[in-house]
Structure 1
Amino acid sequence: MFSIDTASGALTPVQHVPTQGKTPRNFVLDPSGHLLLVANQNSNNLVSYRVDQQTGRLTPTGQTAEVPSPMFLQVVEDFRK
C-alpha cells in the first residue's frame, strides 16, 4: 500500500499486506470503502480485509471463501432496491 501526495502525486510506501493465497489476480473495494476483497487464483480463495477509514491500512477479517480459480471480482449493485 502507498500513500499519495496530492500536490506532487508522489507515492510513499505505507504497508505491505500478504494476500493469504497464491497468484492474486484481482481486488475490489466494496461500495462503502470499508472492505477490500482479493481473488487468489491458484489457491482457490477469496480473502477479505477491513479498511481503516482514517489511515487506509488493511486488517484481515479472518473470513475467506473457497472459489475455483477466481480471476476477477466486481461489485454489483443490488437490483432489488
Structure 2
Amino acid sequence: MKKRTILSAIILMFLAVIGFIAGRQAQAGPGGLIPGSGEDPLVAESYVHEALSVRLTELQGQVAELKDRVQKLKKQIE
C-alpha cells in the first residue's frame, strides 16, 4: 500500500510538471511569442499614436486658453 501511494505521488508530480511546462508553452503562443514583447506588443503603435494625438490636441488647447488668460491678467495689472 505504501509503495502504491509513493508511486501515485511521483506520477502526480510528474504530470503536474508536464502540465506546467505545457501551460507555459501555450501561454507564449505559437512561435514562442511572448505577450508584450516587440514582436507581440500589448497594444498597436497606431492606437498609441492616435490616443496621444487626441490628448495632445486637448492639452494644446488648454495651453492656448491659459496663455490668453495670462495676457488678459497682465493687461488688467498695467
Same fold (TM over 0.5): no
Structure with the larger strand share: 1
Q: TM-score normalized by structure 2?
A: 0.19
Q: TM-score normalized by structure 1?
A: 0.18
Structure with the larger helix share: 2
Structure number with larger C-alpha Rg: 2
- Bigger relative contact order, structure 1 or 2, given CA contacts below 8 A and separation 6+? 1
